[in-house]
Amino acid sequence: MKRKSIIWIISVLSLVSIGTGIILYSNEAFYRAKEKQARITKELKEKMEQKYGVSILNSEGYYNEEVGYAALLTTKDDITFDVYSRPEDPEGSVDFYKNELWIKKGLEKWGNAEDYIPNVESVEMSVSYKDYDDSQAAENKRVKQLEKKIEDISDQLNIYLNVHLKTSYQKNKALEIEKGIYDYYSFLLENDGSSIEMMVEYEDETGTYSIQRDEYDKMPIIKNMDDITRRLEIFSP
């Protein structure tokens, strides 16, 4: 009986010892990871400030399996963007500052859909480069271009506007919406926005109007409201 008790005590002590070791190791690994994340976040912040000549007021580091170590940075001019640590790349990182800056400039110039279209909930824009050369010379050129107006390099960008409406599709009110879209698109054409693709979405995905390039990369010709009406796609609830 004593022998069984001794074996039991030894087993319990062993399990406690193993459990304590696991906890200590896990805590140490956790703090090492936090220290690494803080170090990388600081490096990314300093790298972006030097690359773009901006002042970054807020930096939040994070990690996930898809992108690895990264940071969400916010500049003094209120531009928030992600930057990923990429030690294997020549620059050591991949960032989205340029895209976010062009979006800000684009919305300031063309984001006034509510001036023309009734019941606008929000206006979103996405911007990407058409031909993305990943050479250092091309990247240096793109950084220098950030001083320009967006309309001056719009031929090098894919610009997409997404207008969300507060109301669902109603046939008896569609004409008012379509007139607004026509007037808004006319405004874009008159203000250096002829290359902008656009989608207007009714609430609850009940219908959309799309003005997009065709398979030959050509923009549609919009001459009147009928051209807008033909672009309506209705979705059944």
Domain borders along the chain are 2-95, 97-234
pLDDT at 25: 45
What is the average pLDDT score of the chain?
88
pLDDT at 92: 86
Is the per-residue pLDDT at 14 higher than 90? no
pLDDT digits (tens, 9 = 90+) for 32-74: 667 888 999 999 999 999 999 999 999 999 998 888 999 999 9
At residue 27 the predicted structure's pLDDT band, cuts being 50, 70 and 90, is very low
Is the per-residue pLDDT at 237 higher than 80? no
pLDDT at 30: 45
How far, in Å, CA of 36 to CA of 48, rounded? 18
Lowest-pLDDT range of 9-13, 33-37, 129-133, 146-150: 9-13
Is the per-residue pLDDT at 171 higher than 90? yes
pLDDT at 88: 81
Is the per-residue pLDDT at 224 higher than 80? yes
Query: How far, CA to CA in Å, does 95 sit from each of 40, 52, 98, 128, 156?
Result: 14, 11, 8, 13, 19
* pTM reported for the whole predicted model: 0.84
pLDDT at 103: 98
Is the per-residue pLDDT at 179 higher than 80? yes
* 184 vs 134, higher pLDDT: 184
Is the per-residue pLDDT at 106 higher than 80? yes
At residue 201 the predicted structure's pLDDT band, cuts being 50, 70 and 90, is very high
Angle made by CA atoms 106, 109, 110, in degrees to the nearest 5: 80
Query: How far, CA to CA in Å, does 5 sit from each of 29, 44, 227?
Result: 36, 58, 89
Query: How far, CA to CA in Å, does 222 sit from each of 165, 226, 230?
Result: 21, 9, 10
